[in-house]
Amino acid sequence: MTSEVLILNKKAVVIGADSAVTSSTGAGPLLYAKSGRKIFELAKCGSVAVAVYGSANIDGVPWEVAIKLFRAQLGSRTFGGVDDYADARAGVASLPCLNS
């Protein structure tokens, strides 16, 4: 079970998540680790992050990979608001690894 917490006040937003991860290969027992990453910076130079949970993916590509590819594609660009990042996400679908 994932626990994610967001705290908002007039000056900032704080995102937190546990690091426990349960995975399975389909055959055999569930594997448990305490070192999973669930929060990812969306931009290298911005203050926007994404929190994920479960084994969510985009056409078989894990969210972690898609987010890192988007961040690489952005480079040092930043935007004025979260909506602008949402608009820029359309370019992720054109990345080679998501089209194979």
| pLDDT, tens digit, 9 for 90 and up, residues 34-76 | 888 888 888 887 678 888 877 777 788 888 888 888 888 888 8
Percent of the chain at pLDDT > 90 equals: 0
Contact 13, 6 (CB under 8 A): yes
Neighbours of 42 (CB within 10 A): 19
Domain coordinates in residue numbering, the chain = 4-99
Three-state secondary-structure class, residue 91: helix
pTM equals 0.68
In the prediction, which pLDDT does 86 show?
83
pLDDT above 60 (res 97):
no
Q: What is the pLDDT of residue 91?
A: 57
- Rounded Cα distance, 18 and 73, in Å: 28
The confidence score (pLDDT) of residue 100 equals 46
